Structure 1
Amino acid sequence: MKRESYSIVFSSLTGNTKKLADVIHETLPKNECDYFGAIEAQVPQSKLLYVGFWTDKGNADHKTLELLSKLKNKKIFLFGTAGFGGSDVYFQKILGQIRQSIDSSNVVVGEYMCQGKMPQSVRERYLRMKENPEHPANLDMLIDNFDHALSHPDMDDLQGLQTAITKE
């Protein structure tokens, strides 16, 4: 695809998605970037938008979904993070949910997701739940996932994103 002016807009609760946005900004020609920053009420004018999100209950966060619902006739590259990760099937399910919020006049030109670390309060909540004798059977798996997520996004994740945006 011929390079054109673009904007990078993102919502980042814990800083994971901002790390991805920074990699995109560092990789693409800065002189073609119209806007880089948090999602605002106003829709960027660029035809090509890199839209970053954090995952909230299996979908993009509210700010991102609100922005996506306003977009018309744009090329969109979706990128995001999910605390519960490591599974392409799970990531594809999330991306499928998000695509439902995108008007058909837009074209999704690429997608990238990776795992991201979660706030320590999540692990503490899991540990409190474990004190209950009737805790969910998958709690140990959730704690293991939390511990694994602490290093993400890692260098492999960031390089994967660079590859995804440069091949579009």
Structure 2
Amino acid sequence: MKSLVVYSSRTGNTRKVAQAIFEILPEPKEIHPVETAPPPDEFDFIALGFWANKGTADEAAQKYMKTINGKNVGVFGTLGAYPDSEHARKCMARVEKLLEGNHVHGGFMCQGKVDPDVVQMMAKVAPEKHPMTPERRNRLEEAKLHPDEKDLLNARTAFEAILEKL
């Protein structure tokens, strides 16, 4: 089985998770940022990583998703919200919908630091939707500590389980 890890990363969070997943994949395997990723055609399994933007995968990841058809896929993403939150679940569901026509075998979501420019933009564009409450400030501060070693272990474990299904 030839595997490909493709990731889109704004702050380095998704890249870290991608590298952790890459470590556990059997040879032959390749890893690429989405900007230089090869076409998915020659691969049997694709691990696709994104950073959450507006409740779904970022634009670069979405563009690459459109090139994938009829493949075995595992998805992983990073976001400022808690990975077990309703927001994270909805984000993953939207990503899986974007991958219709493929066999999505599972996924992994991880909290990660949010680009300060994104936080600032959200406050300007939709202050009523994204007010800087004490809870939100605490969550964003906590997000700066992720992905940590436990998160990376959980990503490896999640993708080991995906590989067992194949």
Tell me what 2:107 maps to: 111
Deviation string 1:15-72 (CA, Å, 9 cap, x unpaired) is: 000000110112223x320x21111474222021000000111100001111112211
1:72 to 41, 66, 69: 69
- Quick one: structure 1 residues 7 and 144, their matched pair in 2 at CA, closer, same or farther if it must change by over 3 Å? same
Tell me what 1:22 maps to: 19
Greater Rg, structure 1 or structure 2?
A: 1
SS in 1 for 2:6: strand
Tell me what 1:94 maps to: 91
Let me know the Cα RMSD of the aligned residues: 2.5
- Quick one: structure 1 residues 42 and 137, their matched pair in 2 at CA, closer, same or farther if it must change by over 3 Å? closer
- AA at the equivalent of 1:24: I
- Quick one: structure 1 residues 86 and 164, their matched pair in 2 at CA, closer, same or farther if it must change by over 3 Å? closer
- AA at the equivalent of 1:145: R
Task: Please report the TM-score for the alignment, with normalisation by the length of structure 1.
Answer: 0.82
Q: Distance in 2 between matches of 1:136 and 1:13?
A: 20
Tell me what 1:36 maps to: 31
- AA at the equivalent of 1:32: P
Identity of aligned residues (%): 29
Task: Please report the TM-score for the alignment, with normalisation by the length of structure 2.
Answer: 0.83
2:10 and 2:115 in contact (8 A); partners too: no
Q: Distance in 1 between matches of 2:112 and 2:105?
A: 23
Q: Give unpaired runs (5+ residues) of structure 2.
A: none
Q: Give unpaired runs (5+ residues) of structure 1.
A: none
Return structure 1 stretches of 4+ with deviation > 3 angstroms.
120-123, 134-138
SS in 2 for 1:52: strand
SS in 1 for 2:98: coil
